[in-house]
């Protein structure tokens, strides 16, 4: 009898331990329970496919072949050793929620939407990748996972005006975004150094405005054709990532003004030809024509207009005849009101295109209606602006410099990158965000759409430097955006992350290793290796685009 009782206690302990085992997925799922048994992947495994999930099935096939050397065929009926997608039409599951059930003879991914099915597929792929291949066979432990994201907006922003990286690098970033269930790619395509997107109505924007970068003002023009844009948007769509373009205005317009100086509003000594001219009617038609082409190229139905830091380069507005005439006609008392007038007119144009307006947090002081408007809070040192945005009922994406600017260094010893009064952006700070930042803020649960990391590229000159800034912080970002606070644990995350560093190494990614900092020195570009390192400590706030 004693032996029998001991056996029962032992069995219960084993089952409890199995149930409590941490699932090797980033971001950590809401609920995961491990049970006994294994599903065996081999050449006989089939993916059940029908027209409603054919793209998902193909994505799963492609990823398994790429990373696991497994070639799985499709089937039109369920049987033993199959992977099944179930779209639940009358389910109460949230939009991106999913259930993943792995038993010894079948894997089922359930969701109420294709976005949810994709999220479940990504979790399955991570579980598979975690296991070792053995002669083209994989034994996958049985898990039941019930999961959904904390935030709807889980984003990454890439600045390609300052340095251009090209289609393949953008696709590489999109691949890793999808691997971590990040779903929004904010693409900063225009700014002071260069204009990076083809506009058919104004070819000089790329022919002239596309010349140069932050390091070399005479570099040959680099930009994306409209065919390139369509290709990347489609690539992102296949990974359930929305691409939101940013066309900066009324400031940060230097590259555009090189191409079409008739629309320039001038600048300042440090920022010449920095603004579009808000006093000329032609300016509004010119920019609206540009935005009409942007609307066609990006099906996101959202356009980011920047609308930040205008005060750094609007000095000429004080004497420009057209601006002064506008001020008198519209009874505008100062340049801040001129800026607000411009932003409101362009926002109205965007809304007439049936697009949502997106802008940096300076617009909170302006006159844009909160309807169909999202504010990006970037100034970590101005929490009052975040509070005001929420009080005025703007939707908000959180992307403060600290801790979500990935051009900041991630280790105190690093030299290439930025700091803010000695502070930088280590992995743990990214992971713990937003923490208390949004505690007790008005309407926070209702109006905060999510979070994103911003990667400005003054100091990032090549792919290796880009990777060093992104990895592994992208994994911490993903868990910060997806996982509820009560389920987060940095020590547990760190253990799961160690296997992901193996993935980075296998793909030749130049990543920072937080567990062995001295083994991952900063990558220096050829220019920097010749002793021409960019001294970011000496750059002014404006010159480093302090967004």
Burial 25-52 (b: 16+ CB within 10 A, else e): bbbbbbebebeeeebebeeebbbbbeee
pTM of the model: 0.93
DSSP 173-189: HHHHHHHTT--EEEEE-
Q: Checking DSSP bridges between strand 242-249 and strand 302-306, what pairing results, if any? A: parallel
**Is the pLDDT score of 325 beyond 70?**
yes
pLDDT tens-digit series, residues 447-495: 999 999 999 999 999 999 999 999 999 999 999 999 999 999 999 999 9
More confident residue, 534 or 209: 209
**Is the pLDDT score of 91 beyond 50?**
yes
In the chain the first and final C-alpha atoms are separated, in Å, by 70
Question: What span, in angstroms and rounded, lies between the C-alpha atoms of 466 and 458?
Answer: 11
Q: At 135, is the pLDDT very low, low, confident or very high (cuts 50, 70, 90)?
A: low
- CB-facing half-sphere around the CA of 79: CA atoms within 13 A: 9
According to the model, what pLDDT value does residue 51 have? 86
**Is the pLDDT score of 541 beyond 80?**
no
On the 0-12 / 13-18 / 19+ scale of CB atoms within 10 A, 276 is buried
Question: What span, in angstroms and rounded, lies between the C-alpha atoms of 351 and 303?
Answer: 10
pLDDT tens-digit series, residues 247-284: 999 999 999 999 999 999 999 999 999 999 999 999 99
According to the model, what pLDDT value does residue 18 have? 40
Question: What span, in angstroms and rounded, lies between the C-alpha atoms of 423 and 403?
Answer: 9
pLDDT tens-digit series, residues 143-190: 999 999 999 999 999 999 999 999 999 999 999 999 999 999 999 999
Tell me what the mean pLDDT of segment 206-211 comes to.
98
Question: What span, in angstroms and rounded, lies between the C-alpha atoms of 139 and 254?
Answer: 57
Q: At 529, is the pLDDT very low, low, confident or very high (cuts 50, 70, 90)?
A: low
According to the model, what pLDDT value does residue 182 have? 98
According to the model, what pLDDT value does residue 4 have? 44
- 306 with 359: CB under 8 angstroms? yes
Which long-range contacts does 197-200 make (Cβ < 8 Å, 24+ apart)?
Answer: 197/223, 197/224, 197/226, 197/229, 197/245, 197/294, 197/297, 198/223, 198/224, 198/225, 198/226, 198/229, 199/290, 199/293, 200/226, 200/293
According to the model, what pLDDT value does residue 521 have? 74
């Amino acid at each position: 009898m004693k032996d029998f009782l001991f056996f029962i206690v032992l069995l219960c302990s084993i089952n409890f331990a199995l149930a409590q085992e941490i699932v090797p997925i980033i971001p950590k799922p809401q609920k995961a329970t491990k049970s006994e048994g294994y599903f065996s992947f081999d050449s006989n495994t089939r993916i059940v496919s029908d027209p409603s999930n054919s793209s998902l099935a193909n994505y799963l096939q492609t990823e398994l072949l790429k990373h696991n050397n497994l070639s799985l065929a499709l089937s039109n009926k369920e049987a033993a050793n199959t992977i099944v997608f179930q779209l639940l039409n009358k389910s109460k599951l949230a939009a991106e929620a999913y259930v993943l059930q792995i038993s010894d003879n079948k894997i089922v991914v359930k969701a109420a939407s294709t976005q949810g099915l994709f999220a479940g597929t990504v979790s399955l792929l991570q579980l598979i990748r975690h296991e070792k291949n053995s002669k083209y066979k994989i034994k996958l432990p049985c898990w039941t996972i019930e999961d959904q994201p904390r935030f709807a907006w889980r984003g990454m922003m890439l600045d390609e005006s300052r340095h251009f990286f090209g289609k393949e690098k953008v696709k590489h970033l999109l691949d890793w975004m999808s691997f971590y269930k990040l779903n929004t790619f904010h693409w900063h395509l225009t700014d002071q150094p260069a204009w990076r997107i083809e506009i058919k109505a104004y070819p000089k924007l790329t022919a002239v405005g596309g010349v140069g970068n932050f390091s070399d003002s005479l570099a040959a023009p680099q930009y994306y054709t409209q065919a390139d844009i369509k290709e990347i948007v489609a690539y992102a769509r296949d990974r359930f990532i929305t691409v939101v373009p940013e066309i900066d205005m009324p400031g940060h317009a230097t590259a555009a003004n090189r191409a079409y100086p008739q629309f320039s509003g001038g600048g300042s000594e440090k920022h010449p030809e920095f603004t579009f001219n808000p006093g000329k009617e032609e300016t509004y038609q010119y920019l609206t024509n540009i935005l009409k082409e942007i609307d066609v190229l990006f099906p996101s139905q959202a356009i980011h207009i920047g609308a930040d830091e205008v005060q750094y380069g609007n000095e000429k507005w004080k004497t420009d005849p057209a601006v002064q005439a506008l001020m008198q006609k519209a009874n505008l008392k100062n340049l801040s009101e001129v800026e607000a007038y411009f932003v409101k007119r362009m926002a109205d144009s965007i809304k007439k295109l049936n697009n949502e307006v997106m802008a940096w947090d300076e617009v909170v002081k302006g006159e844009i209606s909160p309807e169909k408007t999202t504010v990006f809070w970037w100034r970590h040192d101005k929490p009052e602006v975040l509070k005001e945005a929420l009080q005025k009922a703007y939707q908000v994406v959180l992307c403060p410099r600290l801790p979500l600017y990935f051009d900041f260094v991630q280790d105190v010893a690093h030299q290439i990158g930025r700091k803010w009064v000695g502070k930088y952006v280590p992995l743990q700070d990214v992971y713990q965000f937003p923490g208390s930042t949004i505690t007790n803020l008005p309407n926070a649960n209702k109006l905060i759409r999510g979070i994103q990391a911003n990667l400005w590229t003054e100091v990032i000159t090549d792919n290796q430097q880009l990777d060093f800034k992104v990895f592994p912080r992208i994994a911490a970002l993903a868990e910060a955006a997806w996982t509820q606070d009560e389920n987060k644990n940095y020590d547990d995350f760190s253990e799961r992350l160690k296997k992901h560093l193996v993935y980075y190494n296998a793909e030749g990614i130049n990543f920072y290793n937080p567990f062995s900092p001295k083994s991952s020195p900063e990558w220096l570009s050829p220019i920097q290796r010749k002793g021409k390192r960019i001294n970011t400590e000496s750059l002014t706030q404006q010159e480093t685009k302090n967004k």
